[in-house]
Amino acid sequence: MTATNGVNGAKAPKPTFPAEAATREYAASLDKADPLRALRDEFIIPSKANLATKKLAKPGLSSDPSIYFCGNSLGIQPKAIAKYMEAQLDTWASIGVCGHFTKLEDSPLSEWQLLSEQASASMCKIVGAAPDEVAAMGTLTTNLHLLLASFYKPTESRKKILMDWKAFPSDHYAIESHIEWHGLDAKENMVLIGPDEGTYEVSTDKILSYIDKHAGDAAVLLLPGIQYYTGQFFDIPTITKYAQDRGLIVGWDLAHAYGNVEIKLHEWNVDFAAWCTYKYGNAGPGAMAGLFVHERHGKVDYSEGEDAPKFRHRLTGWYGGDRSVRFKMDNKFKPIPGANGYVISNPSVIDLTTLCAALSVFDKTSIADLRQKSFKLTAYLEYLLLKDTTDADRMFSIITPSDPHARGAQLSVLLKPGLLHKVAQRLQDAGIICDKREPDVVRVAPVPLYNTFEEVYTFVEVFKSALSE
C-alpha cells in the first residue's frame, strides 16, 4: 500500500527539502533528475490558447502548455490513442466482421474476441492481481451493481452495508438500491463511517471500531480506496483482514486509487473491487472500467458434469460464457473461470481500443516507480503551500492526510469561506486546471505520468498570489 525504500518493503520516510527548494531553479533541477520525465512526451497537454477558445481546435503547441492538475477527474489524452484508434478503424473498415477473429500484422491490437484479455493483462499489474482476476468491462457504477448482486447476500441477522460517510454517488446510489431491492430499509441498513471529530480524516481505528460494532449485523464493507473529496488513502490490507475475520465480505471502489497508488488486491485477499479508467488511467471520458474478483470467488466446479457447473451466483450474460462454446447458441451457460465470468455483453471495441492505448503507456513503466515520483511530487506541493506560513495566518488548510503513505497524488485544499470562486478564476486565467468542489475545496492532483515539479512551483506561486489579491 505504501511507497517503499526498496529494503524489505519498509516505508519510505517523508521527503524533506533544503532551504533553496522554494525556487524555480530547484524545481527545474528536480525535473532534470526525474527518471520518468520522458513519459510526459507520451501525452498531449492542453494548450492555454485552446482552453481560452470556444471553437473546436487542433491540439495546441507544446510551447504553450497549460498546467493540468485535474487527472483526479479526467486524465489527459495519450498520444497512443490516435494510433490505436486508427488501427481499429482500419481493421473494421478493411475486414469487417472478420476483425473478431483475425489478428492483423503491424496492429497494436488483438483480434476483437481477445481484446478485453489484452486490456486485462496490462490492467492487472496496476491493481496487483492475476490476469484472470481482472475484467475490462462496463462502467464503474454498472460494475458495482453487478458485484453487489453477487456479493451482497443479506440474511435475517446480517443485512447492513458499511460505507464511507461521503461516498461518491456511484457507491451511495448503488448500495442504497441493492438494500431496497432486497425489500430492506436503506436508512436502517446503510451504516456511514464518518471522520474523527475536528478533522476530515477517517482513521483506521474508527473504521475498525465500526466493524466491531456491526460484526453481528453487517454483510458487506464497501469503501473507497482513496476518498475522492479528501484524498485519503485507506489502509486496505488492515481493514480488509479485520472485516473478513469478523465475517464480512469486503469490496473496494478504486476509482481514485487505480493508476495512482500501489494496490495488491490478490495479496491483500480483497473479495471484490471496481474502478474507472478515465482519471489517473487516462483512457478517455466515460472509458471502459474494470473489476476484480478474487480467484477463490471465480472458480468453476465441474465435479457434477460439464452440463452442471457450480459457481458463485452472479447476473450472467453471453460474454461471460466460455469462448469454446459461446457460438453453439445452446443456452447452456459455461462460465469463464475468474473475473471474466462476470462479463455481460459483447464489449465496445472502440472503448477497449482507447483503454489499451492508455495502458500501453503504463506498460512502459511500473506503478511502483510512478508512486515513488508521486510521493515526492505531492510532498513538494505540500512543502511549498505551507512554507513561510502558520496555521494562524494561513487562508487555507490541507484536509488531505499529512502522512504521505495515507494519500495519493491529490491534496485537497480547504479555503476560507468566500474565496473559492476568486481563486478558481485566477487559476483558470493562468492556464491552470484544477478541480473545485463547493463550497470551499480545490483538489490539486499533480500526476507523475505527465506533471512536473516546476508546474507545482508555478501553481503555488499563482495560488498564493490569488489569495493575497
26 is annotated as contributing to ligand binding: no
Element spanning 249, H or E = strand 249-253
Q: Fold for 114-360, please state it.
A: Aspartate Aminotransferase; domain 2 (3.40.640)
229 is annotated as contributing to ligand binding: no
Burial of 244 (C-beta count, 10 Å sphere; 0-12/13-18/19+): middle
pLDDT at residue 8 above 50?
Answer: no
Q: What is the pLDDT of residues 348-404, one digit of tens each?
A: 999 999 999 999 999 999 999 999 999 999 999 999 999 988 777 899 999 999 999
Domain boundaries, the chain: 24-72+366-468, 114-360
171 is annotated as contributing to ligand binding: yes
318 is annotated as contributing to ligand binding: yes
256 is annotated as contributing to ligand binding: yes
Q: What is the pLDDT of residues 26-80, one digit of tens each?
A: 999 999 999 999 999 999 999 999 988 888 888 866 678 999 999 999 999 999 9
168 is annotated as contributing to ligand binding: yes
Q: What is the pLDDT of residues 139-168, one digit of tens each?
A: 999 999 999 999 999 999 999 999 999 888
Element spanning 78, H or E = strand 77-78
Please give the pLDDT value at position 391. Answer: 76
Please give the pLDDT value at position 62. Answer: 66
Question: Please, which pLDDT band fits residue 4 given cuts at 50, 70 and 90?
Answer: very low
313 is annotated as contributing to ligand binding: no
Q: How many residues does the chain have?
A: 469
List the Cα angle 176/247/344 in 5-degree steps.
50
Q: Is 399 left (phi over 0), alpha (psi -120 to 50) or beta?
A: alpha
397 is annotated as contributing to ligand binding: no
327 is annotated as contributing to ligand binding: no
24-72+366-468 has which CATH code?
Answer: 3.90.1150.10
pTM of the model: 0.95
254 is annotated as contributing to ligand binding: no
What is the percent of the chain where pLDDT is above 90? Answer: 87
169 is annotated as contributing to ligand binding: yes
